[in-house]
Structure 1
Amino acid sequence: MDVNLKLKEFNISVPWGHIAVKSWGNESHFPILAIHGIQDNAGSFDQLVSLLPQTYNYVCIDLPSHGRSSRFTEHIPIHLWNFVLALKFVTDHFNWDKFILMGHSLGAHIALQFAIVFPEKVEKLILLDIISLLAVEPDKFVSHLCDRYEKILEENRQISNKPVDTLDDALHELNKQRVLFPLKKKAAEMILPRSVVECPILILLSTENGWNWPKDILQAFQKQRNIKIQWLSGDHYFHIVGAKSIALVIGNYLGLSKSKI
């Protein structure tokens, strides 16, 4: 972490408890709000923020039920819009007129939906390894929903409360509960300690995430003048493992020729 970027950690009060915040830089600078992915936390942005230009105020949150933030009601499936509402509580707390949203995975979904509902607030979007929600065909929706509910019930039956002594043990337990993307050790070291839009959009996609994005969605996005899509080498956690290359692209997108690398 750059010594010139001052780190502050604090909580924002919300009706169900609090949202934990990590903030870097001068609070008078233009804000960039970073939103992590599912089962991650604000620590996933530590390395990336340390490489980005110091001319912004970076605010990273632990989503509800993640990291050091208060949990939503236990064992109840959480809808995407619950997180959008939580994000609105955060932005209202800071009373920002405009800001940039940067999200990874689920965080990118939340950022995109927030920008749809509150377009006047979002200056730019930076979406990491996500292009759209993964839609389900109408005739398959009921069976899909049943499968997801059964998966949730099974996951709750298998959750272990056994204490862990090492990072490797913690990584093993966490990966047993992850539905889509297993964590590599370097990404875990950052995360485990905290256990239609008109604005310009930068979408960075990893080359090794194992997902085949729908061609029609990609083509539609590529036709939009306000959207830039770029593929970068790495897996779903390329913003941690490959933070330098990500920081360079984001720094250029923010209008600055150099990032801190």
Structure 2
Amino acid sequence: MGLLSELKLAVPWGHIAVKVWGSQKNPPVLCLHGWLDNANSFDRLIPLLPQDLCYVAMDFGGHGLSSHYNPGFPYYHQNFVSEVRRVAAAFKWTPFSLLGHSFGGSVGGLFACMFPEMVHKLILLDSGPFFPDSKEMENIMTYRRRSIDHVLQVEASQKSRRAFSQEELLQGLLNNNSHLSRDCGELLLQRGATKVAEGLVLNRDRRLSWPENSCDFMSKELFVHSARSLQANVLMIKALQGYYDVRRVNDADKEPMLFMVDTLKSILKERFQFVEVPGNHYVHMNKPQILAGVISSFLQDLPRTTSSRL
């Protein structure tokens, strides 16, 4: 399936950039990338999926080719949920399906709870539908303070965006993403950087820094209450060597992920599928063929067991 078009959807602060595969007459699947990634995350997976659907991969605000938020306005989790609503409105979708990787899965999950009637199917790639407490409540005020201070520091800085060589940018990206292969890092930089006279500059907004500053951590009670509103069929795919927590310092603690799986299984019953696959956090880019079969079966309503391991 070839890329059909690149579009810019107008929003009050500029535009949201999207990539479209397949005919817009087909049932839509909106693809949501991870933190600091971009729509190129799905370039290797989408061509392996059913071709009778329309796939739209968006760049979140401040990422990829989408506009940055206006000065003075930080990036909050609900802002990204709102962007999903804006894209759905622009295409006049209802219902539609969501496929989200990592942070994109949490955005899609929250959207599916806020607008349950709009989401037909929800696919979570090495992601949970929300960020449960994860022992973070004592840190919430610290995160919020740090986020405000960081925005002020960026605004006070008069430095222009620094230019790098292709190799410098790539090495920096790989150093910060140990699960990312070199060729996949190059793919993300194709959309994540712009060529200038001095070299390459990153496209992403410098106000985007630590994901926990823009995550809405919620209590287990609120998680359970929110999950009860889901009307979508949900497929959660967990990479066996992937991440378990938004903060790497907590990644050894698998309890939050297990709690999410058990909760969703209990509430959604036959509408929930949980599958473990070999691979790391970027398995959808590094080895998309591992995911293609299970995702295709889910999108095409082919029967599967509610819990399995590939």
TM-score normalised by structure 1 residue count = 0.85
Aligned pairs for 1:125-140 within 5 A: 125-131=122-128, 132-135=130-133, 136-140=135-139
Q: Distance in 2 between matches of 1:56 and 1:143?
A: 43
Q: Which amino acid aligns with 1:14?
A: V
CA contact (8 A) 1:181 1:236 kept: no
Q: Which amino acid aligns with 1:133?
A: F
Change (3 A) 1:218 1:155: farther
Structure 2 gap ranges (5+): 193-226, 245-253, 303-310
Compare 41-50 and 182-191 and name the one that shifted more: 182-191
Q: Distance in 2 between matches of 1:50 and 1:235?
A: 21
Secondary structure of 1:47's partner?
coil
- Per-residue deviation at 1:38? 1.0
Q: Report whether the alignment pairs 1:203 with 2:236.
A: yes
C-alpha RMSD of the superposition: 2.6
CA contact (8 A) 2:120 2:231 kept: no
Q: Distance in 1 between matches of 2:93 and 2:263?
A: 31
Aligned pairs for 1:37-116 within 5 A: 37-74=34-71, 76-116=73-113
Aligned length: 250
Q: Which amino acid aligns with 2:238?
A: L
Q: Report whether the alignment pairs 1:220 with 2:263.
A: yes
Q: Which residue of 2 aligns with 1:17?
A: 14
- Per-residue deviation at 1:153? 7.6
Q: Distance in 2 between matches of 1:160 and 1:175?
A: 24
Change (3 A) 1:101 1:148: same
TM-score normalised by structure 2 residue count = 0.72
Q: Which amino acid aligns with 1:118?
A: F
CA contact (8 A) 2:170 2:186 kept: no
Q: Distance in 2 between matches of 1:133 and 1:81?
A: 13
Q: Which amino acid aligns with 1:164?
A: F
Change (3 A) 1:151 1:71: closer
Q: Which residue of 2 aligns with 1:230?
A: 275
Q: Which amino acid aligns with 2:289?
A: K
- Per-residue deviation at 1:112? 0.7
Q: Report whether the alignment pairs 1:163 with 2:163.
A: yes
